[in-house]
Structures are given as C-alpha cells and as structure tokens.
C-alpha cells in the first residue's frame, strides 16, 4: 500500500486521511481493505500487515471497566492519535467550556445517538466534521479520537455490525470513551459549564491551510 507517510511527504502539507499510517513510528491503520476481508486478516495494519499490538477480542467486550485498554489501543492508529494530540481551536475549546463536564456528557450521548445510532447509510463516513471544518465541535473531536465517528469505524474497532442500530449499552460505552477524551483534552472544564464570550473575528488566524497545487 502506498499510504505510508515517509519523511519527504511529511514536510509537505499533507492531508491526514482515515487511511493514513506512519508504520515506522508505530502509528498504523486498521481499517480493513477488501483484500484483508477476503483473506481473513482483518485486524492487521492495512499498510504494513503487522498484527495489532493489542487484543481485539478484549476490546470487543466493550467493558466500561476496561476503558484505559481501549484508549491505549486507539492510540496505535495514526488518525486517532492525531486527534489525541492535535491543536484544539479556541472556538472548540469554548464550546466545551460552556457546556462543562455534565453538558458535554449530554451532548456526547445525543450526538453519538444521532450520528451513528442508526444502521449505516450512504452518508456514512461523512457525518462527523473533521478538524478543519468550520462546523466542527468538541464532540466531533472526541468521536474521531475514539472511533465513534461512523459505522465503518465502529465496526472495525468495536466489532459492531453496520446493518443494525446501536444498543443503549453500546451508546453508553462509546459515550464513556468520548468522555475520557474530554477529561484528558479539556481537564479545566467546570462541572456545570462557564460563561465564555464569543470570539471576535478581527484577527487572521491561519485555521485554513491553503491547498497549494504542486
Ligand atoms: Zn502499519
Ligand atoms: Zn469513522
């Protein structure tokens, strides 16, 4: 597969895709290819074919007492790892500050239910805004980081088939995972939320990266 980021490519502004990998640095992609499905090697990295350094069966138990294990596993994937470490725009942080921990939990559960609660349709894979979207919110960040962004990711990460609705237990588990992300990336949130004034749009920040044709 030619998805690997090599050093030369990394110097250019390269758009991170959910199939990107950086295998030499231990950041893989487990989204299965058709070939892997046919060969029954789902769970290995699609780029380097190495088996995952964690136990998929343990992950697929969806045990709410084993969230640390799931988070450590998720961070082996380049796309997830990016969302655990990328820069969070001020607007996104403010959204989380206003909601607070309890409001984020409500928003997380609702958005997970609305975006991936039903069986996959043809829009699947596009329902969760990415970091460069003007619409992106803190729940979207959490969903990408914890693989509850679409039914394809939920299927290969958590072993839940795409063609049925999620159960309450599954939604609860994914919400708890998302709240781990909130706890780690927004450790300063108050329980009930705080007043944060809107950002005045007078300074030109380089949130949008121009795509250069080269
Ligand atoms: Zn790999
Ligand atoms: Zn996804």
Confidence (pLDDT) at 14? 62
What sections of the chain are H helices per DSSP?
7-11, 34-39, 56-60, 67-74, 78-85, 90-116, 138-145, 151-158, 168-185
Q: At what angle do helices 138-145 and 78-85 cross, to 10 degrees?
A: 140
Q: Give me the tens of pLDDT residue by residue for the chain, a chain 214 residues long.
A: 444 555 544 454 568 899 999 999 999 999 999 999 999 999 999 999 999 999 999 999 999 999 999 999 999 999 999 999 999 999 999 999 999 999 999 999 999 999 999 999 999 999 999 999 999 999 999 999 999 999 999 999 999 999 999 999 999 999 999 999 999 999 999 999 999 999 887 655 545 444 444 4
- The answer to whether the predicted template modeling score (pTM) of the entire model surpasses 0.85 is yes
Tell me the residues surrounding ligand 2 (ion) with CB < 5 Å.
Answer: 149-150, 153
* Å from CA of 17 to ligand 2 middle: 10
Closest CA to 108 of 128, 86, 84, 88: 128
- Rounded CA-CA distance 78/153 in Å is 13
* Å from CA of 47 to ligand 1 middle: 5
Vertex 177, ends 95 and 103: CA angle to 5°?
A: 30
How far CA 38 is from CA of 34, 41, 42, 105, in Å, comes to 6, 8, 9, 39
Is residue 96 a contact partner of residue 90, using CB atoms and an 8 Å limit? Answer: no
Confidence (pLDDT) at 200? 84
User: Given CA atoms 116, 121, 124, 129 in this order, what sign does their dihedral have?
Assistant: negative
* Å from CA of 20 to ligand 1 middle: 9
* Å from CA of 30 to ligand 1 middle: 8
């Amino acid at each position: 597969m030619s998805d690997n980021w090599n050093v030369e490519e990394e110097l250019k502004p390269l758009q991170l895709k959910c199939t990107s990998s950086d295998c030499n640095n231990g950041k893989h992609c487990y989204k299965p290819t058709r070939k892997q499905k046919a060969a029954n090697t789902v769970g290995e990295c699609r780029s380097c074919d190495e088996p995952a350094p964690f136990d998929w069966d343990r992950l697929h138990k969806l045990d709410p007492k084993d969230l640390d294990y799931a988070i450590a596993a998720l961070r082996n994937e380049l796309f997830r790892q990016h969302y655990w470490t990328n820069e969070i725009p001020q607007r996104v942080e403010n959204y989380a500050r206003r909601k607070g921990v309890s409001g984020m939990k409500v928003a997380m559960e609702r958005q997970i239910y609305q975006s991936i609660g039903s069986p996959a349709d043809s829009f699947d894979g596009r329902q969760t805004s990415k970091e460069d979207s003007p619409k992106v919110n803190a729940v979207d960040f959490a969903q990408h980081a914890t693989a509850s962004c679409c039914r394809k990711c939920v299927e290969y990460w958590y072993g839940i088939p795409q063609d049925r609705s999620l159960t309450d237990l599954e939604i609860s588990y994914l919400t708890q995972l998302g709240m781990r992300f909130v706890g780690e990336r927004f450790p300063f949130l108050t329980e009930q939320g705080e007043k944060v004034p809107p950002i005045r749009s007078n300074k030109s920040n380089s949130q949008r990266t121009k795509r250069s044709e080269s």
